Amino acid sequence: MIRPHLPLNALRAFEGAARHLSFTNAAIELCVTPAALSHQVKALEERLGAPLFRRLPRGLALTDEGLALLPVLRDSFDRIAELLERFQGGIVREVLAVGVVGTFAVGWLLPRLTLFHEAHPFVDLRLSTNNNRVDIAAEGLDYAIRFGDGAWHGTDARLLFDAPFTPMCVPDIAGRLATPADLARETLLRSYRNDWPDWFAAAGVPAPAIRGPMFDSSSIMIEAALQGGGVALAPVAMFERELREGRLVRPFDAEVVTGGYWITRLKSKERTPAMRAFEDWLVGEAG
């Protein structure tokens, strides 16, 4: 389709005047004289065959035609501005929206993001964190990284890695623990999943009554453990830094796997170049 020549200067003049309801203020914004701006608007009105303003003694008022045209122009100019902002180094940056369970974001993804940006500068990554409850469609996400068994309705799920859980605590508490049965005397911190019974089964010990506080995030639970609030059952791979620095210790070797971290997307969504770049990089790093 061949489009007629668009009088962009006149359209910009109209949009500015409509926003300010003043030729003078719009002219100052656009760095032209009020007379020149008024002439551009008049030329646009003649081309359209309809008045866009009613000239009042003290300013301007939009006609019905002007009211109809203004939101279309605003949206168009905003979209052009947004696209121009995405140009960097001669390429268009592609927005990629990813929802990430907070524990994975802090414990695994953030330390590696510089590597991704260096390899794929065209991707404008937008991260949002959650507590493993996410609606990809409603939140407008390209991907969601979450913990579980990979069975989410309507999604394509690709396993990044399994996440073994084990007890972790500060050294002072660990000094009181000789066997897994000693945990019955401690405050056992738990997530909403409450995987303690599975861990005790893996350790070959009957599970005691679990009465410790419950958290909706492993990161917050571990923070409670770091402050001496009890023993946390959490994925080892997400807290390697705290273990390496000696702020947390693993009193026992026993582990239990109740799920893994997955990168997921809606089955109905075609992968864009940015999506392919991110998924392939993530799987490579995880492997």
pLDDT at 287: 85
- What would the mean pLDDT of 261-275 be, rounded to a whole number? 94
β-sheet bridge partners, residue 123: 94
Task: For residue 216, tell me if it sits in a domain.
Answer: yes
Residue 1 has pLDDT above 50, yes or no: no
pLDDT at 262: 97
18 close to 62: Cβ distance less than 8 angstroms: yes
Report the residue count for the chain.
Answer: 287
Based on the domain organization, do 59 and 181 belong to the same domain?
no
Task: For residue 2, tell me if it sits in a domain.
Answer: no
Based on the domain organization, do 67 and 103 belong to the same domain?
no
230 close to 224: Cβ distance less than 8 angstroms: yes
Based on the domain organization, do 45 and 154 belong to the same domain?
no
β-sheet bridge partners, residue 232: 168, 189
Task: For residue 72, tell me if it sits in a domain.
Answer: yes
The pTM of the full predicted model, rounded to 2 decimals, is: 0.69
**Phi, psi at 154, each rounded to 5°:** 75, 10
User: What total number of domains does the chain contain?
Assistant: 3
Q: How confident is the model at residue 91 (pLDDT cuts 50, 70, 90)?
A: low
- pLDDT tens figures, 3-46: 557 788 999 999 999 999 999 999 999 999 999 999 999 999 99
Q: How confident is the model at residue 82 (pLDDT cuts 50, 70, 90)?
A: confident
pLDDT at 181: 95
Task: For residue 1, tell me if it sits in a domain.
Answer: no
**Mean predicted lDDT score pLDDT of the chain:** 91
- What would the mean pLDDT of 100-125 be, rounded to a whole number? 93
Q: What is the percent of the chain where pLDDT is above 90?
A: 79
* Containing structural domain, residue 179: 165-245
- pLDDT tens figures, 186-230: 999 988 888 999 999 999 999 998 888 999 888 999 999 999 999
pLDDT at 90: 62
Residue whose entry in the numeric block shows the structure tokens 């807290």: 239
Based on the domain organization, do 23 and 50 belong to the same domain?
yes
pLDDT at 79: 82
Rounded-to-integer distance, Cα 224 and Cα 141, Å = 31
Query: 221-258 burial, b for 16+ CB within 10 Å, e for fewer?
Result: bbebbbeebbbbbbbbbbbeebeeeeebbebbebbbeb
Based on the domain organization, do 265 and 133 belong to the same domain?
yes
H/E segment holding residue 258:
strand 256-266
185 close to 193: Cβ distance less than 8 angstroms: no
pLDDT at 89: 61
- What would the mean pLDDT of 54-77 be, rounded to a whole number? 91
- What would the mean pLDDT of 37-58 be, rounded to a whole number? 92
Rounded-to-integer distance, Cα 63 and Cα 56, Å = 12
Based on the domain organization, do 145 and 179 belong to the same domain?
no
Based on the domain organization, do 150 and 177 belong to the same domain?
no
Based on the domain organization, do 156 and 100 belong to the same domain?
yes
Rounded-to-integer distance, Cα 46 and Cα 229, Å = 75
Q: Which CATH number fits the domain that encloses residue 207? A: 3.40.190.10
Q: How confident is the model at residue 2 (pLDDT cuts 50, 70, 90)?
A: very low
Residue 92 has pLDDT above 50, yes or no: yes
Give start and end residues of each alpha helix (H) in 101-256: 102-104, 113-119, 171-174, 196-203, 218-226, 240-244
Query: 142-161 burial, b for 16+ CB within 10 Å, e for fewer?
Result: bbbbbbbeeebeebbbeebe
pLDDT at 3: 52
**Phi, psi at 175, each rounded to 5°:** -65, -15
pLDDT at 194: 83
Rg of the chain over Cα atoms, rounded to whole angstroms, equals: 29
Closest CA to 218 of 182, 194, 201: 194
Task: For residue 49, tell me if it sits in a domain.
Answer: yes
Residue 149 has pLDDT above 50, yes or no: yes
Q: Which CATH number fits the domain that encloses residue 14? A: 1.10.10.10
Task: For residue 122, tell me if it sits in a domain.
Answer: yes
Of 86, 112, 133, which residue constitutes the final position of a domain?
86
Cα angle 242, 286, 284 (rounded to 5 degrees) comes to: 145
